[in-house]
Amino acid sequence: MNTSSHAQESRSLSISTISEDLTITGNVESQGELHLNGLVQGDVRCIALVIGENAQLEGNVVAEEVMVRGRLIGSVRAQKVIVQGARRRQPRSQESRR
């Protein structure tokens, strides 16, 4: 995933992976890029997030860039969001309606 040019200029990003056989209950924070292939039940905060095809995230996301290929149940706050081939999505919008 291409991260924002500002983030690339300021530091070299490390990549962390949560594999398919891993379930995390609780919040996850990273100073780099996170590849989620397993299950996270909690909020995620990182620079860039890739949610894999078989992954599931039940929580809110705060990141500069997010790519969703799997299942996301929660809200996303990001500068850039890409949805690719996701079969099941249940995002909650943070927009207020009057």
pLDDT in tens, 44-97: 999 999 999 999 999 999 999 999 999 999 999 999 999 997 455 455 545 434
Distances from the Cα of 26 to the Cα of 41, 42, 43, 59, 71, angstroms: 6, 5, 7, 9, 17
For position 86, what pLDDT does the model report?
47
The amino acid sitting at 27 is: N
Six-digit token pair at 13?
A: 């990003």
26-42 tens-digit pLDDT: 999 999 999 999 999 99
**What residue segments make up the domains of the chain, in order of their start?**
10-84
Dist. CA 87–CA 44, nearest whole Å:
21
The length of the chain is: 98
